[in-house]
Amino acid sequence: MPEPLAPHDPHDEESAYADELDQPSVPRLGNRRWWWVSALILVPALALLTWIGVMNARDAITYHVVGYQVVDDRSVTVDVEVEKPEDWVVTCQVKALDVRFATVGAVPLTLPADGSSVVRRKVTVRTAARAVTGTVKECRRA
């Protein structure tokens, strides 16, 4: 035979809740302390990220195509301007593309460390088929 349920005493729940409230709580840092801890972590991290950004931007190579001219079915002339650190030798890959953006010709362009930071060159690219544009794929430090 099942045992009858004991009558529910609401005072038992209240006393259990009161016991829970009496437990010692975890000591918490004040609001000001969290601001100081956050500042001590974020300020050096922000300074480090700024330094990394400046160091990477300082020795950058930038390039763009000033213009191009399709000479005939077998060649295109590309006018390229490259900005680089003066003491770097830089190699660029100049490409000619057809109507489907497929590469139909490519030639390396090497720029010496001649003391110039901005260098402009006209490059003739021989092609396997008629090109419709000339572009620079990439420039790297040699």
Whichever domain contains 76, its CATH number is 2.60.40
Do 50 and 77 share a structural domain? no
Q: How many CB atoms lie within 10 A of CB 140?
A: 10
Could you tell me if residue 23 is inside a domain? no
Do 136 and 83 share a structural domain? yes
Q: What pLDDT does 37 receive?
A: 84
- Alpha-carbon gap, residue 106 to 119, rounded angstroms: 20
Give the model confidence (pLDDT) of 54-77 as tens digits.
877 767 899 999 999 999 999 999
Q: How many CB atoms lie within 10 A of CB 94?
A: 25
Do 53 and 100 share a structural domain? no
- Alpha-carbon gap, residue 111 to 24, rounded angstroms: 73
Q: What pLDDT does 32 receive?
A: 75
Is 72 strand, coil or helix? strand
Domain count within the chain: 2
Print the domain residue range for 68: 62-141
Average pLDDT over residues 98-102: 95
Would the pLDDT of 22 be above 70? no
Q: What pLDDT does 122 receive?
A: 97
CA distances from 34 to 12, 29, 31, 44, 45 (A): 39, 7, 5, 16, 17
Average pLDDT over residues 15-19: 63
Give this prediction's pTM. Answer: 0.61
Could you tell me if residue 4 is inside a domain? no
Would the pLDDT of 132 be above 90? yes
Q: What pLDDT does 30 receive?
A: 67
Do 103 and 85 share a structural domain? yes
